[in-house]
Copies of this chain bind each other. A is one copy, B any other.
Amino acid sequence: MPLKIKNVDYFDGEKLILKGNIYIKDGIIVGLGKKEKEQPFPTDKEIDGENCLALPGLVNCHTHAGMVYTRGFADDKPLMTWLEDYIWPLEAKLTPDDIYWGSLLAIAEMLASGTTTFTDMYFAMDRVGDAVLESGIRAVLTWGLIGVQENAIANLDKTVDFATNWRGKGNGRITTMLAPHAPYTCPPEFMEEVLERAKRHNLPIHTHLAETKDEIKQIEKDYGKTPIKWALDVGIFEHRTVAAHCVHLKDEDINILAENNVGVAYNPQSNMKLASGIAPITKLIEKGVKVGFGTDGPGSNNSLDMFAELKMGSLLQKVAGENSQNLPAEQVVKMSTSVGAEILGLGSEIGNLQKGKKADIILLNLDKPHLTPLFDPLAHVVYSCRGSDVQTTIVDGKILYDRGEFYTLDVEKIKWEVRERTRHLTK
């Protein structure tokens, strides 16, 4: 269904274009700019971009969508109480169907707040895949692996099957990675097995690293090194890796991440809410590390709104570094679009509004009191917009959300299912 967005201001990933047109065909941006006034082909639909800013869709580099069931379930608790007494017992009861419905709910929230690609680490990932296929969103799916549990290798092989079978589905909207959970749950011999399969099947690795001080202590005690050095030594950095958190880093850790081209997912709200710490993002970027944004799961945030993440993430770097110039608006927008896409291995497909790229596009309606006046649209994106300012979300050339309407999801049914299932899970 050919589509035209007309008369729209847009940020193409490098520069701001005023009053241009964007043409989409077969899911691809086939033409755009101020000069593209001639209709290159008949379009089924025109979207009037008046008062809107178009951006590449936001890329969430780390979340656990199925954790919607734990949103607001146990806040303001010490981390281990939260995990051991609340989160893990509830998660142990989740069925694949629960995860399917929970993921649909999370996807609805993400589409309505401008996320077009999310990176998910959870379990029953084939059911998450079903939710991704039905909804039309783009996703990087990773099946979390605990190396210390029984049948760890059998599980690993099962997730390799998932990853190889599911990648490319949905017109390429689904890609996959292997996801060993963390250094404290995956021993080195297990990591070697993961790495062997990652290389054999050309699957990148997604993992948690250096999230809390407790983890640093534990890995120091068990292995006499930092989690980053541990990951280097087990060999996974030979392979493309996306590491979530990276909160507690020594200078040498930062050098290791930079030298090995490890992508980092920055999750400021989760790190703040769980009191994990403040990731040295400004320093990581100075050293050349590529950093994208993640929301982490809705249990520890408690939101999947990337706009809140962007503002919080930028402001946190400013105050922590005592420098109001840290993580300026344009850099934040790039981190949450093109840089995020790049660390997920999708840099050639999405992350920019350029001819030939896949049409993952969001429109923000800027005609609102809280976005008036308008000097620099990118400053508004980071410092003034909320997820609710998203008017339209397009993934792979298809409109999935527009002015409160979901085109592929029955959101009333989804909310009902999640509420009913929550009742069962917590009774």
Give chain A's interface residues, CB within 8 Å of chain B. Answer: 68-69, 71-73, 75-79, 82, 105-106, 108-109, 112-113, 269, 271-278, 301-305, 308, 311-312, 315-316, 318-319, 321-326, 328-329, 367, 369-370, 372-376, 379-380, 383-384, 386-389, 411, 414-415, 418-419, 422, 426
A301 with B370: CB separation less than 8 A:
no
Minimum CB–CB distance from A22 to chain B (whole Å) comes to 24
Most chain B CB within 10 A, of A79, A278, A312, A426, is at: A312
- CB neighbours (8 Å) of A322 from chain B are 275, 277
Given known A-B contacts A304-B370, A386-B388, A380 and B72 have beta carbons under 8 A apart: yes
| Interface residue from B75, B105, B324 paired with A379 (Cβ < 8 Å) | B75
| Interface residue from B76, B105, B274, B328 paired with A75 (Cβ < 8 Å) | B328
How far is B78's CA from A373's CA once the two chains are assembled, in angstroms? Answer: 22
Q: Can you list the 9 inter-chain pairs with the closest CB atoms, starting with the nearest?
A: A388-B388, A76-B328, A272-B315, A373-B422, A272-B319, A108-B369, A275-B324, A302-B383, A72-B379
- CB neighbours (8 Å) of A426 from chain B are 375
How far is B312's CA from A418's CA once the two chains are assembled, in angstroms? Answer: 28
- CB neighbours (8 Å) of A369 from chain B are 105-106, 108-109, 112, 411, 414-415
Q: Report 20 cross-chain contacts, Cβ distance below 8 Å, ordered by A residue.
A: A72-B379, A73-B375, A76-B325, A76-B329, A76-B379, A78-B325, A109-B370, A112-B369, A269-B315, A272-B316, A275-B318, A275-B323, A302-B379, A302-B383, A369-B414, A369-B415, A370-B387, A372-B419, A386-B386, A388-B389
How far is B301's CA from A68's CA once the two chains are assembled, in angstroms? Answer: 29
How far is B322's CA from A408's CA once the two chains are assembled, in angstroms? Answer: 42
B384 with A68: CB separation less than 8 A:
no
- How many subunits of this chain does the assembly comprise? 2
- CB neighbours (8 Å) of A374 from chain B are 72, 419
How far is B71's CA from A141's CA once the two chains are assembled, in angstroms? Answer: 39
Minimum CB–CB distance from A396 to chain B (whole Å) comes to 21
| Interface residue from B68, B315, B376 paired with A373 (Cβ < 8 Å) | B68
Most chain B CB within 10 A, of A373, A383, A411, A418, is at: A373
Minimum CB–CB distance from A277 to chain B (whole Å) comes to 7
A315 with B312: CB separation less than 8 A:
yes
B384 with A72: CB separation less than 8 A:
yes
- CB neighbours (8 Å) of A415 from chain B are 367, 369, 372
Given known A-B contacts A78-B324, A324-B78, A386-B387, A305 and B272 have beta carbons under 8 A apart: no
How far is B311's CA from A273's CA once the two chains are assembled, in angstroms? Answer: 9
Given known A-B contacts A303-B384, A315-B312, A383-B301, A373 and B77 have beta carbons under 8 A apart: no
